[in-house]
Amino acid sequence: MITRIRALHRELAADDATFELVYTHCEIVWAIAEQLIRDRLLAVDADLVRAGCLAHDVGVHLLNGAAYIRHGILGEELLRERGFPAEVARFCGHHTGVGLTRDDVERQQLPLPPGDYLAETPEERLVMYADKFHSKTDPPVFLTAATFTARIRRFGDGHAARFAGMVDEYGEPDLAALAARFGHPLT
Ligand SMILES: [Fe+2]
């Protein structure tokens, strides 16, 4: 499964730099999730979480100028078409922000079909949470919980509160060692 996911990133990425940026981000999200599973003794299927972390942003390669927020549904569609199990494909469409509701889609007029895009299973929730601590900016950076909270507040206090609830539940990952290992600054 892991090999197939990596090969798909390789196949779809526009160039080597994009492959490196996106796939390294996915590996970092797994490193964060793995740390949380270990430190918090989380009762999740670790192999499924790993597949979800590595696959969650595969739709970024398919944007072709479309709004970034569409990467989730594009990735989910593609993985289903390519015969990946639905439980893996779902990570793509269910990791954005701290969970997008139908109400968010309507009120913010997001370019998505009306519906809920919430992380539902324990594995989906963990991938969504771990993803918030690293950003594929140029240069890529690790984000503390405080930095991410400041970012998400723009989308409303409800989102910031939902994230705070997850920080309470999972704890904040230790990012210093990961920042050193991957050579991305911690902001
Ligand atoms: Fe991501």
| Ligand 1 center–CA 107 separation, angstroms | 23
Judge whether 179 and 185 are in contact, CB under 8 Å.
yes
Looking at residue 174, its amino acid is D
Given this model, what pLDDT does residue 147 score? 95
Parse the chain into domains and list their residue ranges: 2-182
What spacing in Å lies between the alpha carbon of 90 and ligand 1's midpoint? 14
Q: Which of 162, 165, 158, 163 is nearest to 103 (CA)?
A: 158
Alpha carbon of 12 to ligand 1 centroid (Å): 16
C-alpha of residue 25 to centroid of ligand 1, in Å: 7
What's the Cα-to-Cα distance from 34 to each of 8, 43, 66, 88, rounded to whole Å?
Answer: 22, 12, 32, 17
Beta bridge partner(s), residue 142: 134, 186
Mean pLDDT of the chain: 95
pLDDT of residue 154: 84
Tell me the DSSP string of 85-120. Answer: -HHHHHHHHT-STT-B-HHHHHHTT-SS-SS-B---
How far does the centroid of ligand 1 lie from the alpha carbon of residue 57, in Å? 5
pLDDT on residue 155: 78
Q: Please indicate whether residue 155 or residue 90 has the higher confidence score (pLDDT).
A: 90
Q: What is the mean pLDDT of residues 29-39?
A: 97
Segment 6-34 shows an average pLDDT of 98
Task: Note the CATH architecture for domain 2-182.
Answer: Orthogonal Bundle (1.10)
Q: pLDDT tens for residues 127-179?
A: 999 999 999 998 999 999 999 999 998 877 888 999 999 999 999 999 999 99
CA of 134 relative to ligand 1 center, distance in Å:
8
Query: Cβ(160)–Cβ(170) under 8 Å?
Result: no
* Helix, strand, coil percentages, rounded to 5, for the chain: 65, 5, 30
pLDDT, position 156:
78
Beta strand segments in the chain, E: 134-135, 141-142
Residues 104-115: pLDDT tens digits? 899 889 999 999
How many angstroms is it from 56 CA to the middle of ligand 1? 6
How many whole angstroms from 159 Cα to the centroid of ligand 1? 17
Cα 106 to averaged position of ligand 1 atoms, centre (Å): 23
Instruction: Note the residue count of the chain.
Output: 187
pLDDT tier at 68 (50, 70, 90 boundaries)? very high
Terminal CA-to-CA distance of the chain, rounded, Å? Answer: 33
Query: Phi, psi at residue 27, to the nearest 5°?
Result: -65, -35
Ligand 1 mean position, distance from CA 175 (Å): 16
